């Protein structure tokens, strides 16, 4: 599945939702826990899994080898993985407030 910037991904097993912030020409599947994340609007989790490390609202997660970057827009249990590797929390680089 091609990953497009701006698309929102969710799974059927966690309340966690992410938005693709950076995906330089990438194809593949992002997993949240054991479940595939897709841009399909349907399939809200009936009983959300409570296992797994928390994916935190507003934080960015990156897969350094590929440059994939995701933003958590709804929190939930993870972890987020891509190509078999767990995504890591990206540290914020503060910019001065310009407006």
Partner 1 sequence: MDLLTLLEMVATGMGDRVLVGERKDGLTGAQLRDRAATGGRLLAGTGARTVVYLGGNGPAFPVALFSAAAAHVPFLPLNYRLSDDQLREILARQEDAVVVTDTSERAERLAPHLTVLDLDGFLDRCASTVPNATLVSGGQEAVAVLLMTSGTTAAPKSAVLRHRHLTSYILGSVEFASAEETDATIVSVPPYHIAAVANLLSNLYAGRRIVYLDHFTAAEWLAVVRAQAITHAMVVPTMLSRIVRELQESAATAPPSLRSLSYGGAKVSAKVIADALRLFPGTGFVNAYGLTETSSSIAVLGPDDHREALDGDDPQVRLRLGSVGRALPHVTIEVQDDHGEPCAPGVVGDIVVRGAQVAGEYVEGGSRLDERGWFPTRDLGYLDQDGYLFVQGRADDTIIRGGENIAPAEIEEALTTHEAVLDCAVVGVPDEEWGQRIAAFVVVKPEHRCTVEEIRAHVRTRLRGSKTPDLVRFIEELPVTATGKVLRRNLVADFAVR
The residues of the shown chain that bind partner 1, judged by CB under 8 A, are 5-6, 8, 19, 21, 57-59, 71, 73-75, 92-99
Report the nearest approach of partner 1 to the CB of residue 94 (Å).
6
Choose between 79 and 90: whose C-beta lies nearer to partner 1: 90
Report the nearest approach of partner 1 to the CB of residue 53 (Å).
18
Choose between 35 and 56: whose C-beta lies nearer to partner 1: 56
Tell me the two tokens of residue 40.
Answer: 């399909």
Report the nearest approach of partner 1 to the CB of residue 84 (Å).
27
The whole-angstrom separation of Cα 68 and Cα 31 is: 13
Choose between 6 and 65: whose C-beta lies nearer to partner 1: 6
Q: In Å, how far are 7, 48, 50, 82, 86 from 44, measured between CA atoms? A: 17, 9, 15, 21, 23
Choose between 84 and 96: whose C-beta lies nearer to partner 1: 96
Task: Write phi, then psi, for 52 (nearest 5 degrees).
Answer: 100, 155
CB atoms closer than 10 angstroms to residue 42: 7
């Amino acid at each position: 599945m091609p990953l497009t910037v701006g698309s929102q991904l969710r799974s059927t097993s966690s309340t966690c939702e992410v938005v693709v912030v950076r995906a330089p020409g990438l194809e593949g599947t992002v997993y949240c826990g054991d479940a595939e994340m897709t841009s399909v609007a349907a399939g809200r989790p009936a009983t959300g899994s409570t296992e797994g490390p928390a994916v935190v609202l507003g934080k960015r997660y990156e897969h350094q080898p590929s440059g994939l970057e995701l933003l958590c827009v709804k929190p939930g249990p993870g972890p987020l993985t891509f190509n078999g590797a767990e995504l890591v929390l990206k540290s914020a680089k503060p910019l001065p407030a310009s407006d």
